[in-house]
Amino acid sequence: MQRRDFIKLTGAGAGGLMLPMSGFAVSADQLLDKPMDVAYKKKLADIALNAAKAKGASYADARIGRYLNQFVTTQETRVDNIVNTESAGIGIRVIANGTWGFASTSNMTPDSVAKTAEKAVAVAMANSKFQTVPVQLAPVKGVGEVSWNTPIKKNALEIPIKEKVDLLLSVNDAAMSNGANYITSILFLVNEQKYFASTDGSYIDQDVHRLWAPFFATAVGKSGFKQRTGLGNPVGMGFEYLDGKEEDKIRISGANVGYKNSYDMLEDATAAGKQLQAKLKAKSVEPGKYDLVLDPAHLMLTIHESVGHPLELDRVLGYEANFAGTSFATLDKWRSGKFNYGSERVNLFADKTQPYSLGNVGYDDEGVKTKEWDLVKDGTLVNYQATRDQVHMIDQKESHGCCYSQSWRDVQFQRMPNVSLKPNEKDISADDVIKDVENGIYIAGRGSFSIDQQRYNFQFGGQLFFEIKDGKITEQIEDVAYQSNTQEFWNSCSQLAGKSDYRIGGSFFDGKGQPSQVSAVSHGCPTTRFNNINVINTARKV
Amino acid sequence: MTILTEQHAKKLLQKVLSFSKADECECNLDGQVGGNIRTARNTVSTAGEQSDLTLAVQSTFGKKTGVATINEFDDASLMKVVKRSEELAKLAPENPENMPAFGKQKYLASKTAFDSTSSVTPDDRAQAAEDSIKPSKANKLVSSGFLQDATTFVAIMNNKGLFAYNKATNVDFTVTIRTEDGKGSGWVSRDYSDVKHLNTKKASQVAIEKSLGSVDAKEMEPGKYTVILEPAASVQLLSNMFGSMNQRSADEGRSFLSKKPEEGKEGGPTNKLGEKMFDERVHIYSDPMNSEAPTAPFAGDGHRVGKTDWIKDGKIVNMPNSPFWANKTGVEYRPTAYAGSGLFGGPSQIIMAGGNDSLEDMIKDTRRGILVTRLWYIRPLDPQSLLYTGLTRDGTFYIENGKIKYPIKNFRFNESPIVMLNNIEALGKPERINGSMIPPMKIRDFTFSSLSDAV
C-alpha cells in the first residue's frame, strides 16, 4: 500500500478533513443495519446476467458488494479520528467476442443494473478489436445458492466505540509509561458483504470479517530516536483476537512474546516501551555472515515477497511487467520439475482456507471453491497461483481460486492467496531452533523490506534484533538488515520449529495492478533458521 | 454530474451549510471522472472508466468533531449527512488540538484544467496504446503499458466565510518494453496537465532504445560511483525527504530535522530551521502557479497557498506544519497544496531548481559514471539519516568519456537523499515527473551495495 493512502486512511495527514480512501461514512448504528436481502440480491444479479447474455455475452458474473469499515486512530492521550464508512454497488464482468469487459455502478435500480451490464458488454466488444488470443475459462460447476461466513466470535463492528477508544488509549499509556515518548495506535475493522452470481449457475453470499490493530511507538534519546511497531497480526477474525489469551502466547527465552490466534496488545505495548529504551542503548551490529533465526511475525513478510509474489502466474506471464514486475520463477524452471527453490526442508503451500487467515473465504471472486495446494514441495517448485482464465497456460484444468477485487467498483483479478511454510513434522520449539546456533541473530517483527522486480535480490530489516551466542539469546542489538538472493536464501534453510510454534502473520494492504488495488493476505510459518546469511549495518552518519 | 462548475458547487454547499446546527461546519465536495487503458504482451489487457462525487461534512461543537460523507445529493441526503456528522461530533471525545476554521481567503488563479484532457475518449486511449505497441512490435519487443486520464474538482466551504474551488486535469502514461528473451528492458514515464503534450509513440521510442540497449548487461562491482539520476530516479527519494520535513516531528525529536540538545544543557530537541544541510545549489520549493506542474492554490482545509521555499541555498527555510503546531510554536502556518483524494490523489508537488543542460549534455560532460533510468522498491532504513534502500531498474548504463559505453546489471543502493544533495556535481533542466519538477542530477559517490540479476 502506498504511504499516502495509509495516511489518508488513518487521517494522520496534515490539513483538511480526515477521510478514508473511499466509501462514505455512516454513523455507528448504521454499520449494524441488516445486510441486503439475499432474494433481492439474486433478483438484481439475474437482471445483470440476463442483460449481458441478451447483448451477446458468452459468460457473465455479477458481484453485489456492501463494504463496511471502521477506523479508530489515537495518538498518545488523544483520539485523532473515528470514521465509519459504507460503500455499496454492483460490478459486472462479461466475456463477449472472447474478450473481458467490466462496468460497475452504485446505482442499484433494476434499470441501472441492466444498463451497466450492457456497458460491460460494449467495453468487451470494443476491446475485442485489439485482442489477439480469446479468453479461455477453466470450467466451474455452478453451486446454486450457498453462503459462507468468517467464523467470528465477536463482531468487531458491534463493540461500542468507547471500548475501542479505551483499549487504544490504555495501549498508548502502557507504551509511554514504559519508555515510549510517542505512539499512534489504530483499529482497522473490515466487513465485506459479498454476493456473487454467474452464468455458471452460482449464487454465493459471503460475510467476510478482518481486523488489524497496529501501533507505532517512538522513543527519543540523547543520541537520536528509535521506533518499534506492534507484533500483532492482521487476521480474519472478530474482536476476540484482542482477548490476549495465555495459551496463544509463545515466549522466546530472552527475547519477545509471539502471538498465535489471540493478541495481548497491552502486553506488547508495555514490552515495546521497554525495548525502545533498550534500542536507544543497544550496540550496533557488526556486519558479516550470520545464522539467522526468524520469528514468524518477521518471516511472514519474507515469504510474501520472495515466494508469494514471484509465484503469481500473471507476473510470470508478463501482465504486471509495467508495474510490480515479472518473476525469476519462469515457466521453463517450473516445467523442468527440478528447480530447487529451497532446501529439502522447505515446503510452501497456498490456500484460501486456513482458519483465522486474511485470505480465508468459501469461494473466490469468480465463484471458485477455495482450496489448498503445493507451491514448493521438498524444495522443488511445483506450481503457481492462478485464476480461471490462466490455468490453461500451465496445462491445468482447475482454477486455484485466487481471484479477488478490493470492492464492487473494481474488476477482479489474480491476487495472492495465503502462502505459508509448513512446520517441521517433529514438534520442536523456537528455543530448540536457537540452541544449535553459535553466532547468529534472532529477528522479530516486520521492518524495512525491498526486493527487485523479478524477486531475486532482497534486503529485509525487522523490529527487534537479538544476538545469539552459543545457542542462547544474549542481548538486543540494532541496525540489522540482511541481503540475499531468493533461491540462495531458501536453500540455506536449515531448521524449522514444529506445529506448536506455527503462527499466521499477514499484510492488510498488499498493492498490485493498474489502477492499483489492495488485498489482504496471510502467511503462516514456524520460527525458522537460515545459515550463513549476509548481514549489513544500516546505521549511517550524514 | 460528477464535475460541477464553481457556481453549481457553491450553490450546493450553501444549501448544505443551511442545514447545519454546529458551532462550525466545513464541507468538501470532491468530484472525479477518469478513464484508463492497460496493455500487456503487446495487447490491451483491461480498460475502464470511473467516476465519483463525494460530499464530506465536518461538524464541530466546541472541540468535538465528527465527519460524515455521502454520494447522494437530494435534499434528504444532504440533511442526513449533516445530521450524521453532528451525531458523530457529539459522540467523539474532545480533541485538545482542534483549531478554529479559517475565514474568507484570497487565492491565486492557477491554470490547472485543460479541455483537451477532459475530452479524452476511449478511442483516444486505444489509439494512444496502439501508437505505443506498434513500434514495439515492429522491433520484436514486448510492450506493457498504462494510460490514465482524469478530470477532478474540489470545492470547500465553511460557515466562517471560506469558499474555494479548483478544477484540474491530469494524464499519466508509463510503458515497459522488454526484449522477447527477457534480457533487455526499458521504461518511460510522462505526465501532463494538458494531454496535447503527450505523444505515446515518441515516448515509447525512449523505452525501445533502452530495452534494445540494455541487452547483455555487464557486471560492475558494487561501490561508490558518480551517477546521473534521471528525474524519475530521484523523484521518490526527494518526495520521501519532503514528506519527512514536518515541523512537529522535528520539534519532537523524531525527524532528520531534529536538533539534539547540546551536551550538558537542559531542554528538549529543537529543529534545524535556518541550518545549511545541503549543497548551496539546492533550491526546493512549491508553487501552484508553475505552468508545467500547476496545483490548486489552496490546501485541503481551504487555506491559501502560494509559492513557498522549503530549502534555499542549501538551507532549511520552511517546514510544513499544521495550524495547531504553527500556533503552539508561534510560527506561520505552512500548508501544502491540496493534491486530490481517492483514486486520483497524488503526492505533494515539489519543484527543484536546476540548470539548462539536457540529460544528453550531462552525459557528454561525464568522464566515468552510471546513468540510472529509475529506482524501484524504495524503502526506509533509518529515519534519522533518511537512509533508503532500493534498486535500479529498466535501463542502467555505464558512461565513459561522454558516451554510454555499455549496459550494466542492476544494483541495490543504500543511500540517503541528504548525502545525495550534498554530493551534487551538476543539475540539468527540470522536467515534470509525478506532478513535480525535478532536474536530472549528476551525483558523486552514490552508494551501491549489491548486484541484482533482475532485468
Give the residue from B253, B310, B314, B265 showing the smallest Cα distance to B287. B310
pLDDT at B344: 53
pLDDT at B184: 97
Q: Please indicate whether, in this complex, the C-beta atoms of A457 and B454 are within 8 angstroms of each other.
A: yes
pLDDT at A8: 40
C-alpha cell at A148: 459462507
Q: Give start-end residues of each CATH 3.30.2290.10 domain in chain B.
A: 6-213
Q: Taking the mean position of all CA atoms in its chain, how far away is CA A210?
A: 11
Burial class of residue A315 in the structure, from the number of CB atoms within 10 Å of its CB (0-12 exposed, 13-18 middle, 19+ buried): buried
- By the CB < 8 Å criterion, does B59 face chain A? no
Give the residue on B whose Cα is nearest the Cα of A450: B377
Single-letter residue type at A287: P
Q: Chain A neighbours among B 244-273 (CB < 8 Å)?
A: 246, 252-254, 256, 258, 260-261, 269
Using an 8 Å Cβ cutoff, are A527 and A473 in contact? no
- By the CB < 8 Å criterion, does B130 face chain A? yes
d(CA B179, CA A296): 39
Give the residue on B whose Cα is nearest the Cα of A305: B377
- Chain segment B140-160, per-residue pLDDT in tens: 999 999 999 999 999 999 999
Q: Is A363 helix (H, G, I), strand (E, B) or coil?
A: strand
C-alpha cell at A468: 545469539
d(CA B40, CA B38): 7
Q: Taking the mean position of all CA atoms in its chain, how far away is CA B386?
A: 18
Q: Please indicate whether, in this complex, the C-beta atoms of A538 and B182 are within 8 angstroms of each other.
A: no
- By the CB < 8 Å criterion, does B18 face chain A? no
pLDDT at A69: 86
Give the residue from A190, A189, A185, A191 showing the smallest Cα distance to A173. A185
| Cβ-Cβ contacts under 8 Å, A320 against chain B | 40, 144
Q: Taking the mean position of all CA atoms in its chain, how far away is CA A362?
A: 17
Beta strands in A222-342 (DSSP E): 224-229, 249-251, 257-259, 283-284, 288-294
Q: Which of B52, B144, B416 sits opposite A542 (nearest CB)?
A: B416
pLDDT at B263: 60
Q: Please indicate whether, in this complex, the C-beta atoms of A536 and B376 are within 8 angstroms of each other.
A: no
Q: Please indicate whether, in this complex, the C-beta atoms of A14 and B45 are within 8 angstroms of each other.
A: no
d(CA A334, CA A377): 12
Using an 8 Å Cβ cutoff, are B188 and B453 in contact? no
- Pairs of CB atoms within 8 A across A/B: 251
Give the residue from B157, B155, B125, B129 showing the smallest Cα distance to B17. B157
| Cβ-Cβ contacts under 8 Å, A130 against chain B | 43-44, 126, 129-130
Q: Which of A106, A515, A536 sits opposite B343 (nearest CB)?
A: A515
Q: Please indicate whether, in this complex, the C-beta atoms of B260 and A222 are within 8 angstroms of each other.
A: yes
Give the residue on B whose Cα is nearest the Cα of A460: B381
d(CA A361, CA A351): 10
Best mutation site among B58, B176, B393, B416 for testing chain A: the one with the most A CBs within 10 Å?
B176
Low-confidence ranges of chain A (pLDDT < 50): 1-32
Q: Please indicate whether, in this complex, the C-beta atoms of A538 and B382 are within 8 angstroms of each other.
A: yes
pLDDT at A502: 98
Best mutation site among A22, A128, A130 for testing chain B: the one with the most B CBs within 10 Å?
A130
Q: Please indicate whether, in this complex, the C-beta atoms of A450 and B92 are within 8 angstroms of each other.
A: no
Q: 0.95 exceeded by the pTM? A: no
| Cβ-Cβ contacts under 8 Å, B419 against chain A | 540, 542
pLDDT at B35: 86
Q: Which of B254, B345, B380 sits opposite A448 (nearest CB)?
A: B380
| Cβ-Cβ contacts under 8 Å, B300 against chain A | 13, 15-17
Q: Which of A78, A323, A540 sits opposite B96 (nearest CB)?
A: A78
d(CA B36, CA B21): 42
Q: Please indicate whether, in this complex, the C-beta atoms of B454 and A123 are within 8 angstroms of each other.
A: no
| Cβ-Cβ contacts under 8 Å, B414 against chain A | 459, 536, 538, 540
Using an 8 Å Cβ cutoff, are B12 and B156 in contact? no
Q: Which of B69, B379, B450 sits opposite A19 (nearest CB)?
A: B69
Backbone angles phi, psi at B276, to 5 degrees: -85, 120
- By the CB < 8 Å criterion, does B449 face chain A? yes
Q: Please indicate whether, in this complex, the C-beta atoms of A322 and B269 are within 8 angstroms of each other.
A: no
Produce one character per residue of B373-388: b if its CB has 16 or more CB atoms within 10 Å, e if not: bbbbbebbbbbbbbbb
Instruction: List CB contacts of B377: < 8 A, sequence separation 6 or more.
Output: A450, A451, A452, A453, B390, B391
Q: Please indicate whether, in this complex, the C-beta atoms of A539 and B385 are within 8 angstroms of each other.
A: yes
d(CA B379, CA B384): 14
Å between B111 CA and nearest CA of chain A: 22
d(CA B316, CA A455): 38
Q: Please indicate whether, in this complex, the C-beta atoms of B260 and A223 are within 8 angstroms of each other.
A: yes
Q: What is the DSSP letter of B39?
A: E
Å between A109 CA and nearest CA of chain B: 14
- Chain segment A51-96, per-residue pLDDT in tens: 999 999 999 999 999 988 888 999 999 988 787 777 788 999 999 9
Q: Please indicate whether, in this complex, the C-beta atoms of B345 and A218 are within 8 angstroms of each other.
A: no
Q: Please indicate whether, in this complex, the C-beta atoms of A542 and B320 are within 8 angstroms of each other.
A: no
- By the CB < 8 Å criterion, does B222 face chain A? no
Q: Which of B66, B69, B269 sits opposite A24 (nearest CB)?
A: B69
Best mutation site among B2, B200, B381, B409 for testing chain A: the one with the most A CBs within 10 Å?
B381
- By the CB < 8 Å criterion, does B135 face chain A? no
Q: Which of B50, B338, B386 sits opposite A16 (nearest CB)?
A: B338
Best mutation site among A2, A7, A24 for testing chain B: the one with the most B CBs within 10 Å?
A24
Superfamily (CATH H level) for B6-213: PmbA/TldD superfamily (3.30.2290.10)
Å between A367 CA and nearest CA of chain B: 20
Low-confidence ranges of chain B (pLDDT < 70): 1, 261-267, 341-345
pLDDT at A31: 45
From residue A68, give the alpha-carbon distance in Å to each of A31, A409, B344. 7, 14, 22
- Pairing of β B258-259 and β B24-40: unpaired
Q: Please indicate whether, in this complex, the C-beta atoms of A455 and B454 are within 8 angstroms of each other.
A: yes
Q: Chain A neighbours among B 379-418 (CB < 8 Å)?
A: 379-387, 389-391, 393, 410, 412, 414, 416, 418
Q: Please indicate whether, in this complex, the C-beta atoms of A319 and B144 are within 8 angstroms of each other.
A: yes
Tell me the Cα Rg of chain A. Answer: 24
| Cβ-Cβ contacts under 8 Å, A302 against chain B | none
Å between A146 CA and nearest CA of chain B: 30
